[in-house]
Structure 1
């Protein structure tokens, strides 16, 4: 414990403990160079499927979006496409199975786990005498952020240096310090961190910081769009809707863009799987092969699994951190999350994938834990990845398990 605390105390403003519990492990999970390559390959190929499907989905009628679980309030904004890529920072979650890597979901709008993988993983790997598989990815992330901000500014007609504000709930250390890390990495002249509660939305005019300065681009990476749409002031002024109206009117830019939200619904996986199962010509033969390799059977009802007596997972279309998850088989509930925060969203049903186990070093000694791989797609290119270790349902109490590579750096 002393060695662990001494090490993490050297990393300023990092949340190595969350909710009073150990979060970042003083341990380094060894991986092979070929694993780095396979995770990056899977990330790139799965993203291409998502992009093709969502570009088609953008032209669908409103009824289709409702069927996929999107909030009715989001409908006026779902077809916005203001950048040359659908999302700036997205994260796929993969499981390593006997059949290879399987993707279980895509957080395309507000993925966390950023500073852990783009900064801290490398520090831990060095401490344990291993190579960081994410070496140089922070530089790429900074370049991608600057590129996105440039395109966003151009779309709203801003010339020169835009005033970029990074925002989050100030009291949440993970959200706040994630945004400050992104701001530091982006190296944008004149950018500022402004807590969410200090922002002011003036309908028809713009978004302003606490000092009354008009914001050109609002980076709300840790504030989900579905939550923003429900944001209402004490006097019942619809802050979120009016903010999105300003985005629609190009009076303020927003990152992640609204197009990232179009990929966020887990029901998108059911749409992709449905076309694949029909052998639909929308996907090429190679794309069908990619779906078969990396996707799990996913539906908008549970009957296909009940008929085959297969174990499956029930998830809300919008949900995070293992909240509102149920694992079932033969009509019986095998596991369920304690929280049911997202129970009001429609559910999707996905074939169960057993997370592999490994031994991890914690303050309390060696423990057996399940592994989940988080892999980032940054401006349409696979980037940093890493591991969460915890229960069979990965939740916000799971550990961050740093990883490192021994041997030749074959992935570069």
Structure 2
């Protein structure tokens, strides 16, 4: 095995020069909340996988086609009644807000099983709310590609992100009946290198002033305002990288649930949390089952062709899929709780099986053959991620892309980032 790819001075120098503070990953101590440095594992590979410009262009075009379907579904789901949303796995606490929040998603990352060797190109997940793997797909590939003498696969990705983010924040300010310059904009996430680091990077694409801080310093006061604890400054517009399905269960020091107060602030237009409830509307894996249940005849000819070409068969039950399928929690993330079934028996299971995920209702997709690449003399399974951004007219346009690889057949939180270039 070529260990230089995983651990070498050259690797350290490259990723430190990019300020990628999470090029190695550390597990978090459950009691202290601190990273366990002695158990860190490599995340970013000192390697650049070469792809052709035509490969990039085809994936971006396919992603925009899929994005049109999801934006259609965004409008459809907002009109569904509460019982139907419960049937598709939406937590009851989220229903009022996902139907109310009028601002559409800012962005999303699609995960692709892109395997031309077997004529297979299917989108397997969409990640609109707390979409990780952001810097890597948007800026990171370009740095690594240049280092290895290749070209950035999507050289305009940062400009697209900047334009979309600033336009979306202006819409949020207008919704509050304010100018953006009069709003305090903040970015927050869980206090770990990847989440806070990504929020710091994202905030640099906003043209105005903003505050970036760990989520532990976010406070609600008397149902009247959201504020940053260290300064007391009121927050008008917040980008909160934190799952809605976690937020509904959070409590304060006295054990009181925080969600009702946060929901009320949003409903009363005292704060806008961008890409939060509106994006969560498309986050559950059951949205794929809903698309399947509606059928291609529900869509116009162009979108129907997209559903047929790019969406895997997905169901809330196993009966429609027979004895071969992949099962994942409806609110699953990072591969948690997923398992593959072949001929009626479990063939592969995720390494991560926290009861939070395994006790959820599941959704079932047709079993797909993911591409495999030889990297560092080892055969690895590849998943492609492709970014989409709202162009201001609620049309999703293609941004950056990137590849995760894993030694097992299920991509999870500890899969590697394999940089790519043209």
TM-score, length basis structure 1: 0.92
Which one of the candidate residues 15, 23, 43 is aligned to 1:16?
Answer: 23
Residue 57 of structure 2 aligns with which residue?
Answer: 37
Corresponding residue for residue 3 of structure 2? none
The root-mean-square deviation of aligned C-alpha atoms, in Å, is: 1.4
Task: Give 1:11-410 correspondences, 5 Å limit.
Answer: 11-19=18-26, 20-83=40-103, 86-97=104-115, 98-159=118-179, 160-170=181-191, 172-189=192-209, 191-210=210-229, 211-220=231-240, 222-276=241-295, 279-280=296-297, 282-306=298-322, 309=323, 311-341=324-354, 342-361=357-376, 366-379=377-390, 380-390=396-406, 391-405=408-422
Structure 1 SS opposite 2:232:
coil
Q: Give secondary structure in 1 for the equivalent of 2:205.
A: helix
Superposed displacement of residue 21, structure 1: 1.1
Aligned to 1:409: none
Flag structure 1 segments of 5+ consecutive residues without an equivalent.
406-412
- Confirm or deny: 8 A CA contact 1:78 1:258 kept in the other structure: yes
Work out whether residues 168 and 176 of structure 1, in 8 Å CA contact, stay in contact via their aligned partners in 2. yes
Question: 1: distance between equivalents of 2:247 and 2:386?
Answer: 25
List alignment gaps of at least 5 residues for structure 2: 1-7, 27-39, 391-395
CA distance in 2, matches of 1:119, 1:35: 19
Instruction: Give the Å deviation of 1:13.
Output: 4.8
Check conservation: 1:164, 1:215, Cα contact below 8 A: yes
Cα deviation, residue 255, structure 1: 1.5
1:249 Cα deviation after fit? 1.1
State the partner residue of 1:408: none
Q: 1:344, 1:228 → 2: CA distance? A: 18
Per-residue deviation at 1:259?
1.3
Instruction: Look up the SS of the partner of 2:303 in the other structure.
Output: helix
- For residue 148 of structure 1, give the secondary structure of its aligned residue in structure 2: helix
Aligned partners of 1:202 and 1:315: how far apart in 2? Answer: 38
Distance in 2, matches of 1:52 and 1:219, equals 24
- TM-score w.r.t. the length of structure 2 is 0.90
Q: How far apart, CA to CA, are the structure 1 residues paired with 2:410 and 2:238?
A: 33
